Amino acid sequence: APAQASLVLHADRPGPKIARDIYGQFSEHLGDGVYGGLWVGPDSKIPNTRGFRNDVVAALKALNVPVLRWPGGCFADSYHWRDGIGPRDKRPVTLNGWGLVEEPNAVGLHEFMDLAQMIGAQVYVNGNLGTGAPGEMADEVEYITSPSRSTLAEQRRANGRRGPWPLAWFAIGNEPWGCGGNMRPEYYADQVRQRAMFLRMPDDDKAKIIASGGQPDDLHWTETVMASAGKQIDGYTLHYYTIPSDSWEHKGSATGFDETAWISTIAHALRMDDFITRHSAVMDRYDPEKRVALVVDEWGNWYDPEPGTNPAFLQQQNTLRDAVTAALTLNIFHRHADRVRMAEIAQTVNVLQAMILTKGDQMVLTPSYHVFDLYRPFQDAAELPVEIQSPPYVHGGISVPGVDASAGRSPDGSIHLALVNPNPESAVHAEVRLEGAFGRQLDGRVLTAPQMDAANTFGRPDRVRPQPFKAARLAGDVLMVDLPAKSVVVLDLR
């Protein structure tokens, strides 16, 4: 028999806006993430627009990607932006720390801005603190944003871009405690204070400035940066990757896993809530108005590399498990909409929990892509509280909530309810009492598959994809929903 769950959706208690920027993506120069995945060059036989693959651009455009982070990650702290401007055939070939492969610098600022414009995303550039000379970061920002006749702005024009580009977010370094320079928080906080001072931007094109957080459980780092540089920044980052095990050496496989790995991955993913809660509490002490956003600009599942691939390229398959944890994570972000106002899944194409995989001229949309598609209505919706009562899902001594849900109301009044049943064996019958909700037209879509590790492959690209959902009906002010095992459902009520 299906498990029974009862929920209350408080449409009468709208909370903060779910910032659409939490649906952002991260594109790093890493493995086949940029070269091959996004960029094939204008002379490629693969259909492209000014070098970017048409298939991938169209898929990203369809997803309403609000913001794209570039060029790293760890790569950002050894990236010199001047290597990526001017005639492409004159650009230097540098070394990329991810596998020490050659970086042709074919994709630089102009190309990245072109991509962002094609897909309709705002731009988040991660500056180089680790190896960049102090003036380099200031010059980069001036090159991007200055409408003046300064030599840097004229250089931008000579390179083909007349007006400044809109720059939404700019980060001072990445993971400065590790690959970004082995810094201590006191030193980093001073660097932020100094660097932020010289990032001069016109009033109508002022990027929000971001400082990096420490390790996910390092509250001292947050304390230190907020105390001494909190006034200089608009965003503060949290990076948290989910692995199925407790060992970075043996994380676990992306496919062919058992139910213990399934539930363990889910339990690890749910830790995001605790990290956000604890960092937010520290931030609240220094910034009670919540002016500074908590920016989860790297999140997702990280598995052992795909056998036969370069381990430095962080390639992995993406399955229904990734869809379920993506939905659970987005629900957590919704519940923290007051503080979490930007996030980027890692990463866009071919790297870690990718939205898209490519091989030669082929492309597949992953189950994670489809979750972002299902959740599109939540972008800029007002968060609505949901109370949930359900028996837990327990396996192998691990227990997680039996149902998870989040809700939002769009500016047009429609209500959206996301429901996740993490149990791979058992369906759930959920009764959702609607408090203060009107409207009687119900639509829904579901993402599920027969196997926990069902994936979309180049041979079978549509194994996991959203289907219309028919197992929900309204009885007065109660919504009856039969959630299939291991599924993500999004309902829209008008």
Enzyme catalytic residues:
175, 298
- Of the pair 298, 404, the CB lying nearest ligand AHR is at 298
Task: State the nearest-atom distance from the C-beta of 79 to ligand AHR, in Å.
Answer: 11
Task: State the nearest-atom distance from the C-beta of 445 to ligand AHR, in Å.
Answer: 29
Count of positions (residues) in the chain: 494
- Of the pair 206, 241, the CB lying nearest ligand AHR is at 241
State how far the Cα of 334 lies from the Cα of 339, in Å rounded to an integer. 10
**CB-based contact 27:72 (threshold 8 Å):** no
Task: State the nearest-atom distance from the C-beta of 175 to ligand AHR, in Å.
Answer: 5
Site map (CB under 6 A) of ligand AHR, residues 74-103, x = contact? x-----------------------------
**CB-based contact 274:336 (threshold 8 Å):** no
**CB-based contact 215:184 (threshold 8 Å):** no
Task: State the nearest-atom distance from the C-beta of 215 to ligand AHR, in Å.
Answer: 10
Name which position in 24, 31, 37, 73 contacts ligand AHR (CB under 6 A).
Answer: 73
Task: State the nearest-atom distance from the C-beta of 98 to ligand AHR, in Å.
Answer: 8
State how far the Cα of 314 lies from the Cα of 32, in Å rounded to an integer. 9
Task: State the nearest-atom distance from the C-beta of 74 to ligand AHR, in Å.
Answer: 4
Those residues whose C-beta lies under 8 Å from the C-beta of residue 250, and which sit 6 or more positions away, are 304
Q: Which residue has the closest beta carbon to ligand AHR?
A: 73
**CB-based contact 408:18 (threshold 8 Å):** yes
**CB-based contact 345:22 (threshold 8 Å):** no
- Binding status of residue 125 toward ligand AHR by CB under 6 A: no
- Of the pair 96, 145, the CB lying nearest ligand AHR is at 96
Task: State the nearest-atom distance from the C-beta of 411 to ligand AHR, in Å.
Answer: 33
- Binding status of residue 346 toward ligand AHR by CB under 6 A: yes
Segment lying near ligand AHR (by CB under 6 A), choices 35-43, 104-112, 323-331, 345-353: 345-353
In whole angstroms, what separates CA 475 from the centre of its chain? 37
Residue bearing tokens 């939490």? 22
Segment lying near ligand AHR (by CB under 6 A), choices 14-22, 71-79, 230-238, 400-408: 71-79
- Binding status of residue 315 toward ligand AHR by CB under 6 A: no
Q: Which of residues 351-380 bind ligand AHR (CB under 6 A)?
A: 352
The DSSP element (H or E) to which 444 belongs, if any, is strand 442-447
Segment lying near ligand AHR (by CB under 6 A), choices 69-77, 106-114, 228-236, 323-331: 69-77
- Of the pair 225, 430, the CB lying nearest ligand AHR is at 225
- Of the pair 240, 375, the CB lying nearest ligand AHR is at 240
Number of residues interacting with ligand AHR: please give it, by CB under 6 A: 10
Rg (CA), the chain: 22
Task: State the nearest-atom distance from the C-beta of 347 to ligand AHR, in Å.
Answer: 6
For residue 324, give Cα distances in angstroms to 147, 307, 336, 365, 457.
Answer: 45, 24, 19, 15, 18
Q: What stretches of 71-174 adopt beta strand conformation (E)? A: 94-96, 101-103, 122-127, 169-172
CA atoms within 13 A on the CB side of 339: 24
- Binding status of residue 298 toward ligand AHR by CB under 6 A: yes
Q: Are strands 169-172 and 415-421 parallel, antiparallel or unpaired?
A: unpaired
**CB-based contact 94:196 (threshold 8 Å):** no
- Binding status of residue 175 toward ligand AHR by CB under 6 A: yes
In whole angstroms, what separates CA 58 from the centre of its chain? 19
- Binding status of residue 453 toward ligand AHR by CB under 6 A: no
Q: What is the 3-state secondary structure (H, E, C) of 238-257?
A: EEEEECCCCCCCCCCCCCCC
- Of the pair 73, 235, the CB lying nearest ligand AHR is at 73
**CB-based contact 323:367 (threshold 8 Å):** yes
- Residue 139: strand, helix, or coil: helix
- Of the pair 347, 350, the CB lying nearest ligand AHR is at 347
- Of the pair 240, 257, the CB lying nearest ligand AHR is at 240
Q: Which of residues 19-58 bind ligand AHR (CB under 6 A)?
A: 28
Segment lying near ligand AHR (by CB under 6 A), choices 89-97, 105-113, 346-354, 380-388: 346-354
62 token code pair: 């369809």
Segment lying near ligand AHR (by CB under 6 A), choices 67-75, 159-167, 253-261, 323-331: 67-75
State how far the Cα of 239 lies from the Cα of 463, in Å rounded to an integer. 31
Angle at 381 between CA 265 and CA 393, to 5 degrees: 25
Under the rule (CB under 6 A), what is the footprint of ligand AHR?
28, 72-74, 174-175, 298, 346-347, 352
